[in-house]
Structure 1
Amino acid sequence: MIDSKSTIFKSTIFNDFLDKIKSKNSILVDDILAPEIAFLTTFLNFFSKKDILLISPDRRKDLLYKNLSSFNENILEFLSWETLPFEEIKPSLDIIGQRFDTLNKLAFSKKNHLLICTLHSLLQKIIPSNVLKDLSIHLKINDTHDFENLIKKLVSLGYKKETLVSDKAQFATRGYIIDVFPTNLDHPYRIEFFSDEIESIRTFDIETQKSVEKKKSVDIFLADELKFLKDEKNLTNIFSYLKDDFLIIFDDLYQIEDSLTALNSLKIKNSKYFLSFDSFLENIKKNQKIYFSENKIDEISFVTYNQKPNQKDSTEISFEIFQKHLDALLFKHPFITYLDFLNLEKLENILDHIETFIDKNLKVLFLYQNEAEKKHIFELLDKKTENISLDKNKNIFFEKGFLSSGFIIADQNLSIIPYNEITKRKVIRRQKFREAYHSPVAEYHSLEIGDLVVHFHSGIGKYIGCDKLSNHLGVETEFLILEYAKGSKLYVPISQSHLVTKYIGSSEALPGLTLLGSNKWQKTKVLAQKQIIGYASDLLHMQAVRELEGGFEYDKDSEETQLFDLDFPYIETQDQKRAIEDLKNDMMQKKAMDRLILGDVGYGKTEVAMRAAFKAVYDGKKQVALLVPTTVLAMQHFDTFKERMSSFPIEIDVVSRFKTAKENRKTLENVKNGNIDILIGTHRLLSKDVSFKDLGLLIVDEEQRFGVRAKEHLKKIKKGVDCLTLSATPIPRTLHMSLIKVKDMSVINTPPQDRLPIKTIISENDDEVIKNAILREKSRQGQLFFIHNRVESIYKRLEHIKKLTKNCTFAVVHGQMPTEDVDFTFHKFKKGEIDILFSTTIIENGIDVPNANTIIIDRADSFGLADLYQLRGRVGRWNRAAYAYFLTPKNRQISEISQKRLTALLEAPSFGGGMAIAMRDLEIRGAGDILGIKQSGQISNIGFHLYCKLLKRAILSIQNKKETLFIETKMEFSYPAYLPDDYIPHETLRMEIYYRLGEAQSNKAIDAIKIELEDRFGSLPDPVKELISLSKIKIFANQNSFTHLKFGDFTLYCERLHKSKKTQKNLILPKKEKILKFEEDVLNILKKSFEIL
C-alpha cells in the first residue's frame, strides 16, 4: 500500500513551495483545479505548523471540502447563517449548532486547524471566545447539578420547553428526567437524575421516544445565537479564534470577488453584525496569503511582472482583485491535468492511458470510496492489461479516498486516478446534520374543543373539554366530556380514551350528532361492518388472483447486483433498506410483484426503483419499463438512471417528445429486438406500437396522475409482470396499517441525513419580503423558483419582480410552451445559467436542482394542501437551509379552508411531515378520494379512523378464517388502574398511552409499552402496573368475544357473545395480593369457565 501523502510530498516542487511559504511572501498559484488545491492545502497543513484559513466561494466550498476530507480528517467548517440580520427569519438550528461546534473546537483544541468558510461566514461577527464556556453545558454521569438551575440554564441558552422533544433546541421534563435535543448533535439526549446526581445519559429516537444508546457525557451549546449577538457589546470575528500567524488561502479569486459583489447588495456595510471588507483586509494585512485561481496568469486583471535579480526561481507579480493592487510570488504547480493533454471523455481512452503508464513502469494510484468501486476498477484493468498481475505489480496502488478529477505529478512519475474519473460520475457532498427530522404524528390524540369525535359505542359527538370528577368509587378521575344530540353529555374516563377518535368524513360536509339512547348508531355500525367485510373480501380475492397468475421467480442477488448495491455513493436510510429488502423478496417469489413505495419528495424512492430495475436486467435478463406522468420527469429519470448505471453495460433509452419521430422509431425498434434494457417514457409507452421482447418489470411513478384509460391499459400490462409503483402522495398511517395485509406497501419516512428542514414563511404579497428572499439566495450564489400559476399574467408578474432586483437572470416555463423550449430552459436552469425560474406548477414533479433552495409561491391560498407540500419539496434537496414563501393577497381575507391548508404546512415539518399533511388533508377535503366512492359513504357514517379499525379487523378475521366480530370489551373495575398525573403530567401524553394500550393486539405490544414507560417516565407506580395487567386481560377478552367484564372485590361478572350465542356468568375470584398473580388467576378462571383452549 502506498502512503500517497508522504510519496507525493517528496516532490522537489512541493519542497520549493514550502520554501516560498517560509519566506513569508504572498503566493499566487494559477491554472489550478479543486483537487490540486486540496493537495497543496493538505501539504501546507502537514508542514507549515500553522492554522490555515481557507476562503472558498459558495458554489465551490462543498467540492473543495469533499476533495480535502479524503486526505485530512482535521478540517473544520464554519457555516454562515444564510439569513439576514434584519429579517424576521431565525437561522437554521442545525447551522447554529454546527457553528458553535466549530467555535468550541477552535477555542479549546491545541491542534493546528484547517478552517474552511465562505466570505459570508467570514465577515459575520461572532461571540468572543472568552464567553464561549458560559454559553454551553457539559453533563457527565455521576456529576451533580441542581435540577431546577439546569432547567433555567437551558432556557437561558434559548432552549424551549415542550411536552415532547421533536426538534433541536427543545427540552422536556418528567419527574427527574430531562429530554433535550442539543443544536450541535444529531440525536436528542435523555438525562436521568437521582436527586441531584446524573444517573444515566442516553440518546433516544424522536419518532418512538425510546432510548437508543448509553452515553458517558453530553455537551449542549447555545441555541439562540442572534439574541446573544444583540446583547453582546464586544463582538469579534473568526480571526480571534486562530493563532496570530495563521495562513490565509483564497480559493478561486474571481468567484470570491463575485461573492463580495453579492454580499454588498445585502446592505451589510454598516451592519453591527458584519465586518466590512476593508476591515477584513486590514485584519489580515500582516498574515501570509496564498491566492489560487482557475484562470491562467494572463487572464488575471492587470498583471505586471517584476523579476528581481536575486530571485531567479521566483517571479514577483502585481495583480488587481477586490479593486486593490496586490503583490505575490508566482508559483508553478507540478500538476498535469488529464484534460490538458488527453480526451478522456471515453472509457477506452482512460484505460489506454492507464495501460501506457503501467507499461512504462510508472506509478499509478487509484482512489475508491467503497469496495464496489475498487472491485470495478480491478475488473476493468483485468480486461485491459491481461499480462499484468495487479496484485503483484509494485507500481499499482489502491487507496480509499476521493478527488473530483485526476492528475499527474510529473517529477514523481505518478498518475492519480479517482474512480469518478473513470466513470465520469458527479459526486455531491452530503453533510450529516441529524439522524431524523420527523416527529411523532399524533393521529388520534390531539383533540381540540369543538372537534367532532366518534365514540365506538355511542356514535358521533362533539368534544367540549376535559375535567376531573369523582367516579362511582369516589376516586377523582379525568373524564373527556362529549356532547350529543339535544345537549346530552357523555363522560368518558380518560382510561377509555382509546374508544374516542377525531371524526373525519369523506367530504367537507359535517354529520349530525348521534342521539344517546337510540339504536340508530348501532344500526349504522352494523351496516358499515357488512360493507367493510365485503370490501375486505374483494381485496383478499384480488390478492389470491394475483398469486394464481404467477410471475418470474428471480434467484438471489448475483455478484453484479451486489456490486451495484455497493456502488451507491451514499448511505441508505433504514427505510430505504427495508423497501429494497421488501421488493427483492417479492421478486424472488413465484407470484408477480405488485408493490407500492410511498415516500415524501426527495426521500430516495428512485434509488429503490433502480435496485429493482438492475436486478430485473442482470439477474433475470428482463426488460424494464419506467412510466412517468411528464416529459420533464422522464428526462430527469433518464439522466439519473444513465449516471447511476454508468459502470455497467446496461442500455437505457427514453421515448420523448424532445426527440424526433425518427429517433423514437429507432428506439422502439431496439426495444422490440431486445437491444434496450430499460425504456423510460410518459403515457407514450402505453401506445399500441410499443412492444417489448421480454418485459419483466413495470415501474410506475405517480400512478394517480394518469387518466382512466391509461390506468385500464396498465391493468392489462401488469398481468404476470412485476410491478413497482412509486408515490410521493402520503396516505395516513391508520389506512396503511389497515391495508398492510392485502396491499404490499413500503413506506419511506426518513430523509437523507444531509437535509436541513425547510423554513416555511406565510406572508402577504409584499415587495420587500420578495426582494429580501431573492437577495439572500443570491448572496450565497443560489437559485430560486417563483411559482405563478396563471399563464395569462405570468409575464406581467415577471416584469414587476425584475424591477425589485439587479443582476439577476430570469426565464419562464409553462405548459403552453413548446416542449423543446421547456426542456431547453430547464436544462439551462439546472446548469446554473438562470437565477430565477418563473413557472406554473409544471415543476411540481420532476425537476431536481440542488442549488435552487428558495421557492416563492404566488397566491398560495388558491392551491390544494398536497400541491403546496409537493411544491415546497422542490427545494431543500441539498445540505443548505431552504426557504418556502407562501404569498397571499395583500389586504384581503382568504377563505377558512385556505387558512387551514397554510396553517397545516406551518405545523407539519418539511421532512417527514407527509403523514401529518395526509391527516390534515383528510380533515380539510374528506377521505373519499382514497378508498373510492363505494366506501366513502361508510366513512361519512362512522368516520375515517373507526372505518380503518374495522377494516383491519375484518381482513385479519377473514385471513384467519374466523367469524368476523367487531367486539370492544367493556371493562369495569373497583381498584385504581390509571396513569397518575405526577407520573405523566401532560394530558396529551396520557391520552396517547391510554390509546395505545387500548389498541394493542398482543401481550408483546403491552410489554413494549411497559418498557417504554419505564424508559421515558421512570419506575412504574402501582396504578400503572394494574393498568398494564388489565390491558392484557382485555386483549384476551377481545380475542375471545367477551362483551363485558365487571370486577368486584371477589367476583367477576362476564358476558360473552360466541357463535351468535350470548352467555352470562358470575365467577368467584381469589383474594388479590400480587398484581401479576391476580392477572394469571383471572385468565385461568376465564379459560376454564368458558372452555377456552
Structure 2
Amino acid sequence: MSENEQRIEARHATLQSVAEGFAAHRHLEVHGLTNPVAARLLAELLKTAERTIAVLVADQKEAAKLAADLSFFHNPDEIVILPHWEVGPYDPLSPHPEVEAERVATLAALHAGSARVVVVPVRSLLQRVMPRPVLDQLAFHLVVEEEYPRQDLKNRLLGLGYQPVPMVEDRGTFSLRGDILDIYPAASRQPLRFDLFGDYIEQIRPFAVDSQRTGEESLAEVLLLPAREMVLAGEHLDYFLQKLQERCDDLDMTRTRREEILDEFREALPAPGREFLLPLNYPQLSTLFDYLPEAGWAVIDPPAIEQAMDRFAAEIREGEQRISNSAEPYVAADQLFLDPGSATEQLDKGRRIDITRLQLYHLEADWPLYRVEALPNSDFHCSAKELRQGLDRLVEQIETWRTEDWRILFACHQPGQAERLQEMLSAHGLELPLVPDRRLADIPRGEALVCVGELSAGFRLPDEKIALFSDEDIFGTRARRRTRRQKRRTLLPSLSELKENDFIVHTDHGVGRYRGLQHLQTGSTEGDYLLIEYAGDDKLYLPIDRIERVQKYVGADGHVPKLDKMGGTAWEKAKFKARAAVEELARDLLKIQAKRKMNKGHSFPHPGADFREFEATFPYEETTDQLAAIEDVQEDLQSEKPMDRLVCGDVGYGKTEVAIRAAYRVALEGKQVALLVPTTILARQHWTTFRARFAGTAVEVDMLSRLRSPAEQKAVMEKLEAGKIDIIIGTHRLLQRDVRFRDLGLIVID
C-alpha cells in the first residue's frame, strides 16, 4: 500500500456490516472478537454465503470449542470438524479408529457439499488426505429390497477398512450373525441393523449402542464410506504393495526385512504407525484445498495460527529425522504434509477474513479493517458470598437495557440450571420466560428470556444492543465430567469381560466353563457362538446375540465352582433355594417398609431462592444420573413419608453433592444433619469438602472423631446439643450415648 493510499477502517462495526464486507472484499480483518463472538459472526456470514466456509484454528481443543459455540447460533447438522490424527508425525502409533472414521465422514460431507462450515485445526490443514476421486469411487449405497451376495458384501466391508467384531459398538466396525448384519458406518451417528432374508435386505434400522435395541425408525438406503483413509483391498492393496516394495528397496532394506513388512499388509496386520505410509496407497494424495476449491476462509487469531504451523513443521522435521535412523519404512515429509508457506499461499488465493482480539499491523495491508466493540460479561460474575448482591446488580442492569430496547438472552447448559436461574431471578424481582429452544434472533427488542444451549461464554454488543449470557458468566466455570458410555442392561455387558476358561453362569443351564468364541455355519445360517462346556463333556453353543443369557461367575477368591450338568436337577434346586431366600428377604423388607409407611415424617417445604443460589454455585456440571438422584432425594424430603433411599455411583461421580444439597435443605429448616462414615480419614475428607462447599452460608459444619482431642470433642458435643452445629460428620463415635442432638432431621451413611 502506497503512502498516498489510506486503509479502509470501520469503527463500531456491527456483525452484519462485517458480513456485507466479507461479500464485497476478498480479504478483510476484524478485531475485538472472542471465540463466542466469532461464532456469532460466522453464523451471520452463513446467512448470505453461497459456498462452504472453512474456519482455521490453532488446535483441536479450539476447534471443538468453536464448533460447539457455532452450534448455538447455527444448525449443528451443517457443522463438521476435520480432526487430526492425534499422534506425532512418524510416531509408531496409530490414530484411533473413531478419529479416522470422523475424518472420512467430514471429507465426504465436503465432497457432497452438505457441510456449510468445516472447522480445521492447523495440523489437519497441513496433512494431505485421501484423493477426492477415490472417495467418490469407493462410496456405495445399500438399498432396502435389493440383493447383495453376502460374501461379496462382507469382503467389500473388509476392503473399506471395517473391522469384524462380535458386537458393534464403535464406528468402522461390523458384525454378521445369521440374518442380522450390524454396521456402524463412518458417516453415521448411530449403528445400523440390516435384517436380511438370504442376500435380500428386508429392513434397515438404527439401534442403540448401550442396549443393542432397534428403534421404530426405518431407513430406505444407507451410504457406506471407507472407515479409514488407507484402503488395503483390491487394486489399492496391489498398488500399495508395489510402491511399498519399491520404497523398501530405495531405503536399502534387506530382503528379509522387506518381506516381513509386506507380510504385515498381506495378512491385514500392519504394525502401529503404518498409516504414515498413506502416500504409497494412491498415485497422489489430495489436500483440503482440493475439497474446498471455492470456499471462504475464516482465520481465527492469525499469530496463533502461524505459531502452530511452525511448531508442527518442526515436529515433522524431527519425526522424519528420527524414523530415517530406524529400520522402518517411511515416506518423505513433503509427500504427506504441506509446508506452512504453501498452505499460507493457498489461503491467500481465496476469500479470507482474519478474526482477532487485537489489531494486527501489516506493512503492506490494503484490506479493510473492521473494529467491533464486544464486551465480556466478567463484570457480572459473582462469588458464592456475593451472589445475592450480584444478582441484584444484574437485575437492575437488565431493567435498564430493556428500556433501551436491548435484546437479552440467558443460555444455560442444562434444563435444570435454566429453571434454577429463572427462579433465582424471579426471587430478585425479574420474571423471565423460559423458552428452551429460543435463539437470539427470535427475541423482540426490549425483551429478555432464558433458553437451554451450549455456549462457552456470553458477550455484549453495545452497538447492536445485544446481551448474551451463559450461566457460567454469572456462576463461574463449571467443570464438565467425561460421561461414560452407558453399560448395556444385560447380565454380561461385553465379551471383553470374558477370558477363555472363565467360569460362566447360564440362566437355564447353570455353571459352565467358557471355551472361547466359535464361528459356525449350519446350513444357510452362519454366525459367532460362545462355546460353554458343562459336566460330562456336555457342550452348549450360544449365539452371540443371546449373550444376555449368561454372566461371569462371581465367587470367593480361590473358590473353584462345580460344573453343572446340562439337563440335570442340581441347577434347578440351587435356583429354587436362592428364590426361596430372596422371597424371605423380600418379606422382611416389606414388613419394615410397612412399618415405615405407618409413621409420619417431616415434610420440608419447596426449595426457595437460598437453595437455588446454593445449587448454582456447584463448580461442576451435573451428570444426568446425578440430577435424577438429586431430584429424587429432594422429592423424598418434601414427602411426609420418612426417607429411606440408597444412592449408588462410581467414585468421583457426584454422590457427595447429592448429600450436600439434601443436608443444606434440612439445615435451612433449622434441623440437624449427621453424616456417618467408617473411617477417621474419610471423616476429615468430608469435613474439608463440606466446609468448602458451605463457605459463604450460615451453615455450621463440624467433625467428631478420635482425631479430635477430648476437650474438642466435649465442646463439639455441647454445641451439637445446643443446636449450634447444623451438620456433624463423624465415625461410629456419633452412635455413642453421650452424643445428643437438639433436632436431628437427616442421617446420611457413607
TM-score (norm 1): 0.47
- Structure 2 distance, partners of 1:666, 1:123, is 68
Q: Does residue 1:248 correspond to 2:298, yes or no? A: yes
Residue of structure 1 aligned with 2:601, choices 536, 540, 552:
552
Please state if 1:125 is matched with 2:164.
no
Is it true that 1:232 corresponds to 2:282 in the alignment?
Answer: yes
Structure-2 change in CA distance of 1:604 and 1:430 (3 Å) = closer
Report deviation, 1:249.
1.4
Residue equivalent to 1:331: 370
Given the alignment, which residue of 409, 422, 425 partners 2:461? 409
Task: Label 1:187 to 1:155 Cα distance change in 2 as closer, same or farther (>3 A).
Answer: same
492, 498, 501: which one aligns with 1:442: 492
The letter for the 2-side match of 1:334 is: E
Deviations 1:730-778 (A, max 9, x none): xxxxxxxxxxxxxxxxxxxxxxxxxxxxxxxxxxxxxxxxxxxxxxxxx
Cα offset, 1:52, TM superposition: 2.4
Q: Deviation of residue 695 (structure 1)?
A: 4.7
Alignment of 1:27-66 (within 5 A): 27-58=28-59, 59-66=61-68
> 2:192 is matched with which residue: 183, 189, 192?
189
- Pair 355,157 (structure 1): closer, same or farther in 2 beyond 3 Å: same
Give 1:602 shift.
6.3
Aligned AA for 2:105? D
From 50, 65, 69, the equivalent of 2:71 is 69
CA contact 1:188–1:205 (8 Å) conserved in 2:
yes
Given candidates 355, 363, 368, the residue that maps to 2:411 is: 368
Out of 274, 278, 291, which is 2:354 matched to?
A: 291
Residue 170 (structure 1) aligns with: 173
Q: 2:342 aligns with which of 279, 292, 304?
A: 279
For residues 435 and 499 of structure 1, what CA distance do their matches in structure 2 show?
A: 22
Distance across 1 between alignment mates of 2:733 and 2:45 = 57
- Partner Cα distance (1:601, 1:201) in 2: 40
- 1:85 Cα shift? 5.8
CA distance 1:39–1:404, change in 2 (3 Å): same
Does structure 1 conserve the Cα–Cα contact (< 8 Å) formed by 2:97 and 2:171?
yes
Query: 1:480-527: CA deviations, max 9, x gaps?
Result: 7656xxxxx4647779x99999765422265799999xxxx98xx99x
Cα distance change on mapping 1:72 and 1:635 into 2, 3 Å:
farther
Write the distance in 2 (CA, Å) between the matches of 1:291 and 1:690. 69
The aligned residue for residue 241 of structure 2 is none
- Between the aligned partners of 1:669 and 1:81, the Cα distance in structure 2 is 63
1:479 Cα deviation (Å)? 10
Distance 1:137 1:605, change over 3 A: farther
- Partners of 2:604 and 2:380 in 1: CA distance: 43
Whether the aligned pair in 2 keeps the contact of 1:466 and 1:481 (CA below 8 Å) is no
* Aligned match of 2:307: 257
Q: Which residue of 2 aligns with 1:985?
A: none
Q: Which residue pairs with 2:474 in the alignment?
A: 423
- Displacement of 1:137 after TM fit? 3.9
Deviations 1:765-815 (A, max 9, x none): xxxxxxxxxxxxxxxxxxxxxxxxxxxxxxxxxxxxxxxxxxxxxxxxxxx
How far, CA to CA, are the matches of 1:458 and 1:64 in structure 2? 55
Partner amino acid, structure 2, of 1:292: I
Mapped to 1, the partners of 2:432 and 2:639 lie a distance apart of: 43
List gaps (5 residues or longer) in structure 2: 1-9, 233-274, 321-331, 436-442, 521-529
2:227 is the counterpart of 1:223: yes
Deviation at 1:238, TM superposition (A): 2.0
**Counterparts in 2 of 1:390 and 1:597: CA distance versus 1, 3 Å:** closer
1:42-73 residue CA offsets vs partner (Å, 9 max, x unmatched)? 23333454532222344433433333222112
Q: 1:397 aligns with which of 426, 448, 451?
A: 448
Report SS of the residue matched to 2:38. Answer: helix
* Matched letter for residue 299 of structure 2: I
What is the deviation of 1:105?
1.9
Task: Work out which of the residue numbers 80, 89, 96 in structure 2 matches 1:92.
Answer: 96
The aligned residue for residue 352 of structure 1 is 393
Change in Cα spacing, 1:174 to 1:419, as seen in structure 2 (3 Å) is closer
- Give the AA of the match of 1:629: L
Any conservation in 2 of the 1:367–1:402 contact (CA below 8 Å)? no
Cα 1:656/1:425, change in 2 over 3 Å: farther
Shift of 1:623: 4.8
- SS of the counterpart of 2:175? strand
Q: Deviations over 1:635-674 (max 9, x none)?
A: 67877x679xxxxx976787699xx99x999999998887
- Unpaired runs of 5+ residues, structure 1, are 1-8, 304-316, 319-324, 469-477, 484-488, 644-648, 704-1093
SS in structure 2 at match of 1:234: coil
Following the alignment from structure 2 to structure 1, what is the Cα–Cα distance between the partners of residues 501 and 65? 54
Q: 2: distance between equivalents of 1:390 and 1:542? A: 43
- Aligned partner letter, 1:46: K
Give the aligned CA root-mean-square deviation in angstroms. 5.9
Cα distance in 2 for residues equivalent to 1:15 and 1:374:
29
1:256-289 superposed Cα distances (whole Å, 9 cap, x missing partner): 7257536734645754443332332232232344
- Conserved? CA contact 1:452–1:503, under 8 Å: yes
- How far residue 95 of structure 1 moved from its aligned partner, in angstroms, is 2.8
Q: Distance in 1 between matches of 2:131 and 2:67?
A: 26
Aligned twin of 1:822? none
1:395 partner letter: G
Secondary structure, counterpart of 2:141 in structure 1: strand
Query: Does residue 138 in structure 1 map to residue 141 in structure 2?
Result: yes
Number of residue pairs matched by the alignment? 634
User: Which one-letter code corresponds to 1:284 in the other structure?
Assistant: L
**Residue identity in the other structure for 2:355:** F
* Secondary structure of residue in 1 paired with 2:73: coil
Q: CA deviation at 1:416?
A: 0.1
- Counterpart of 1:37 in 2: which secondary structure? helix
Q: Decide whether the 8 Å contact of 1:205 with 1:211 is kept in 2.
A: yes
1:912-931 deviations in whole A, cap 9, x for unaligned?
Answer: xxxxxxxxxxxxxxxxxxxx
Q: Cα–Cα, structure 1 residues 429 and 118, in superposed 2: closer, same or farther, change >3 Å?
A: farther
- Residues 225 and 652 of structure 1, relative CA distance in 2, 3 Å threshold: farther
Partner of 1:598, secondary structure, is: coil
Q: 1:63 to 1:630 in 2, by over 3 A?
A: farther
Q: CA deviation at 1:154?
A: 1.4
Amino acid at match of 1:408: R
The alpha-carbon deviation at position 600 of structure 1 amounts to: 4.0
SS at match of 1:35: helix
Show the counterpart of 2:266.
none
Which residue does the alignment assign to 1:210? 213
Describe the shift of the 1:543–1:515 C-alpha distance in structure 2 as closer, same or farther (beyond 3 A).
closer
Tell me by how many angstroms 1:234 deviates. Answer: 1.9
Looking at structure 1, the residues matched to 380 and 611 of structure 2 have their Cα atoms a distance apart, in angstroms, of: 33
TM-superposed CA distance for 1:191, in Å, is 0.9
Tell me the alpha carbon deviations over residues 392-442 of structure 1, each in whole angstroms, 9 at most, x when there is no partner.
996223364554444433334x2404142663242568999x975659553
Distance 1:214 1:63, change over 3 A: closer
CA contact (8 A) 1:625 1:695 kept: no
CA displacement, residues 830-870 of structure 1 (integer Å, 9 cap, x when unaligned):
xxxxxxxxxxxxxxxxxxxxxxxxxxxxxxxxxxxxxxxxx
Aligned to 1:78: 82
Give the 3 Å change call, closer, same or farther, for CA 14–175 of structure 1 in structure 2.
closer
Give the aligned residue type for 1:366.
Answer: L
CA shift for structure 1 position 235 = 1.6
1:307-326 equivalences in 2 (<5 Å)? 317-318=362-363
Instruction: Say which SS state the counterpart of residue 597 (structure 1) adopts.
Output: coil
The answer on 1:149 being equivalent to 2:152 is yes
Secondary structure of the 1:213 match is coil
Change (3 A) 1:544 1:184: farther
